[in-house]
Amino acid sequence: MTLENYIRDIQGFPKEGILFKDITPLLNDANATKECVKILVNGLEGKQIDKVIGVESRGFLFGMLLAQELNAGFIPVRKPNKLPYETISASYDLEYGSDTLEIHVDAIQKGDRILIHDDVLATGGTAKAVCELVERLGGEIVQLNFLMELTFLNGREKIKEYPIFSAIKY
């Protein structure tokens, strides 16, 4: 099975100049979704995981499936003011302005082995902010995995101190 066949390119979404990688055809197919989970789990090479982080919002989809498959807990990292309990936050720069992500203060116990998941690694700003949150709470980052990596944006460079796995590279 070729996972690429289940990713749809949408030119100019959500704004001009962006080639959006739409994963809804993948989600729409049970076998392709299962295969994708299998590929991401294989990419871990048997490393033990206590908690999987999914990054709002598309990171929640496979993040939760991965957590179940790995027998690990799931942690949502969300945009500001979405999480109800006490949070810490990390900000990162965008092309114009900045953005912020939050995590519950009690989501990670010191020494927890963490897998960070998101759908796309683009410039790496999002992933780097999530790494900062995990380390501030005392978690150990075992790997970051992505359905897709846009290699021409060099996002890897921002998170090069951590192991990275991506199911598809463009």
Just list the catalytic residues: 58, 95
Q: Does 155 bind ligand AMP (CB under 6 A)?
A: yes
Which residue, 61 or 142, is less far from ligand AMP as judged by CB? 61
Residues 124-143 that bind ligand AMP (CB under 6 A): 124-127
Of 52, 38, 44, the closest CA to residue 165 belongs to: 44
Sign of the Cα pseudo-torsion (111, 83, 155, 48, in order): positive
Residue 121 near ligand AMP by CB under 6 A: yes
Residue 54 found at the interface with ligand AMP (CB under 6 A): no
Which 3 state secondary structure label does DSSP give 157?
helix
- Beta-strand (E) ranges in 25-97? 51-55, 73-77, 87-93
CB of 70 to ligand AMP, least distance (A): 21
Strands 19-22, 164-169: pairing kind: unpaired
Residue 170 binds ligand AMP, judged by CB under 6 A: no
Q: How many residues does the chain have?
A: 170
Of 10 and 105, nearer to ligand AMP (C-beta) is 10
DSSP 96: S
90 binds ligand AMP (CB under 6 A): no
β-strand pairing of 164-169 with 87-93: unpaired
Give 51 or 158: the residue with its C-beta nearer to ligand AMP.
158
Residues at the site binding ligand AMP, with contacts judged by CB under 6 A? 18-21, 55, 58, 118-127, 155
